[in-house]
A and B are shown apart, each in its own frame.
Chain A
Amino acid sequence: MAYGPKIIDHYENPRNVGSFGTQAEVKQRKDVGVGLVGAPECGDVMQLQIKVDPATGRIEDAKFKCFGCGSAIASSSLATEWLKGKTLDEGLAIKNTEIVQELSLPPVKIHCSVLAEDAIKAAIADYKTKNGIPVDDHDHEHAHR
């Protein structure tokens, strides 16, 4: 598949790769929200972690790991870039269509952007749950387009 330059750039130089600790460690950390979406047998698993500054309520850092095709890696890499510095509400406002547009994802790869949006929502919901903030229903709404 011929990919556009932005996908290739994110794939070859992925931003913010990593995590804020092992699965067991991040589970205990209240300042970290974890989103793990997808399934190995579908060929895509994204793990997105956000670190929130409790004083400002802003996402001060974000990291990802991804098992998936080039578009999935690029979508999650881009998501971490966009999340940094945003409030939780601003993070929730990120739409998969914006990722599609930014990366020029081909039609067969739109599901990768949906997965990235799901990962963002899941990470924010995890943070909220850990900190006793009510999770809105629409936080879990999957924007499948």
Chain B
Amino acid sequence: MTVKLPIYMDHAATTPCDPRVVEAMLPYFTKTFGNPGSRNHRFGWEAEEGVDRAREQVAALLGASDKEIVFTSGATESNNLAIKGAAEMYEKAPAGGGACRGHIVTCRIEHKAVLDPCKRLQKEGFEVTFLDPPRDGVITREMVEAALRPDTILVSLMWANNEIGTVNQIREIGALCHEREIVFHTDATQWAGKMPVNVERDNVDLLSLSGHKIYGPKGVGALYVRRRKPRVRLVAQIDGGGQERGFRSGTLNVTGIVGLGKACEIAMAEMDRDGERLLKLRRRLEQGITSQLDHVQVNGHPEKRLPHITNISFGFVEGESLMMACKDIAMSSGSACTSASLEPSYVLKGLGIGDDLAHSSLRFSLGRWTTEAEVDYTVRKVVESVNKLRALSPLYDMYKEGIDLTKIEWAHH
């Protein structure tokens, strides 16, 4: 079976819009273009109906009520609103007083959209514990419990990691936070829409999700904000017309919101089938690569992982050149060499993976339309490229000669 090139293996970065999503959005650009804030004419009412339906669709995906959904511009904004909004609402001491305003727990391998808001709060008088993940990348209830303090006001931990796909013990951590009356936020960007969520069962207070990771449009996302047991309040970060019950001012992105709603509805209906299929494909990919090459490792916990993401380190070859060799396959390098900084991935480093292997890592993320033939092509191409680059690699020669690479005095730049 022939495959169409290039192959897209980067669904953790973004996904194509599902055509059914685009179809649902189209009328809202031209016909139903009203501002849902216009309360006194039909144009506004019809737009509002579209938004209301989307709110129900998002709420249904999360097992929440529609009143608990706040629409945003994406997961980055949702994370900012959740973290800064909760910290400012539940602070223990006023700003500028010199006393610790409150303690926050998060983890070193979170997305930058969580880490950077936390770092900003740190500068503004809050104290933050950045948990060191274990080698398998899974944060457990016990790890969080050990970090809690009497003045802890917020715990923010991602449901599943975007680089390695490992899944944290969200339900258990949520239960712990509820016992201690601490607000619990989870960045579920990679999880929601792929795997089941029930905010009641899973003990989540605040949950961020994004449209474009789940076959919806870019520029739209949502924040779930718990309304009862307990009612969670936030200080708004964008002020203005008071839309979204004051949580997030600004005219609603109606087309985007309608698309997000439709994407959630489809995700809910097809999640089980998609998940099972993706898991099979991911295993086929991992099996194919690891059975044909020595010195490769799949990063993160072997089982507690998302079905569609895998991160593989290849000894003795460098990530960017490997991507260049596989130029017909779109994927992401664990090394950030491509993004102009020469630092390897902080996530892989955070797991204790050496810089040499962190520089030699690729993330493959599969999606709704990935085929078995595409996976097989990828396996073939990766194996061939690694072999080609190893033939070029002085490190592979030295390894085969029995030279211990860690004993060499490298000239560091």
Residues on B with C-beta less than 8 A from A65 are 392-394, 397
A85 at the interface (CB under 8 A from B): no
Q: A108: nearest residue on chain B (CB-CB)?
A: B340
B321 at the interface (CB under 8 A from A): yes
Report yes or no: A67 in contact with B324, Cβ–Cβ below 8 A.
no
Given contacts A1-B338, A14-B392, contact A23 B413 (CB under 8 A): no
Q: B320: nearest residue on chain A (CB-CB)?
A: A69
Residues on A with C-beta less than 8 A from B355 are 40-43
Report yes or no: A39 in contact with B401, Cβ–Cβ below 8 A.
no
Residues on A with C-beta less than 8 A from B338 are 1
Query: Which B residues from 334 to 390 make CB contacts under 8 A with A?
Result: 335, 337-338, 340, 342, 344, 354-356, 359
B167 at the interface (CB under 8 A from A): no
Residues on A with C-beta less than 8 A from B411 are 37-39, 118
Give the shortest distance, in Å, between A88 (CB) and chain B (any CB).
21
Give the shortest distance, in Å, between B28 (CB) and chain A (any CB).
36
Report yes or no: A70 in contact with B392, Cβ–Cβ below 8 A.
no
Interchain pairs with CB closer than 8 A, number: 95
Residues on A with C-beta less than 8 A from B319 are 43
Give the shortest distance, in Å, between B30 (CB) and chain A (any CB).
36
Given contacts A23-B401, A43-B337, A43-B359, contact A36 B320 (CB under 8 A): no
Report yes or no: A38 in contact with B413, Cβ–Cβ below 8 A.
yes
Tally chain B residues at the interface, Cβ within 8 Å: 32
Tally chain A residues at the interface, Cβ within 8 Å: 34
Q: A76: nearest residue on chain B (CB-CB)?
A: B392
Query: Which A residues from 50 to 71 make CB contacts under 8 A with B?
Result: 65-70
- Secondary structure dominating the interface of A: mixed
Residues on A with C-beta less than 8 A from B263 are none
Please report the C-alpha to C-alpha distance between residue A19 and residue B391 in the assembled complex, in whole angstroms: 11
Q: B341: nearest residue on chain A (CB-CB)?
A: A108
A115 at the interface (CB under 8 A from B): yes
A24 at the interface (CB under 8 A from B): yes
Report yes or no: A67 in contact with B395, Cβ–Cβ below 8 A.
yes
Please report the C-alpha to C-alpha distance between residue A72 and residue B393 in the assembled complex, in whole angstroms: 12
B247 at the interface (CB under 8 A from A): no
Where the two chains meet, the residues of A that have a C-beta atom closer than 8 Å to any C-beta of B are 1, 3, 11, 14, 17, 19, 22-24, 36-47, 65-70, 72-73, 108, 111, 114-115, 118
20 sample A-B contacts, Cβ–Cβ < 8 Å, listed by A number: A1-B320, A17-B391, A19-B397, A23-B401, A41-B344, A41-B410, A43-B318, A43-B335, A43-B342, A45-B395, A67-B316, A67-B317, A68-B318, A68-B321, A69-B321, A70-B320, A72-B318, A111-B413, A115-B413, A118-B411
Known contacts A17-B391, A45-B395, A66-B393; can you find 13 more A-B pairs with CB under 8 A? A3-B324, A24-B401, A39-B410, A40-B355, A43-B342, A43-B355, A45-B410, A65-B394, A65-B397, A67-B316, A68-B318, A108-B340, A118-B411
In the A-B complex, the 3 residue pairs with the smallest Cβ-Cβ separation, listed nearest first, are A41-B355, A39-B410, A40-B356
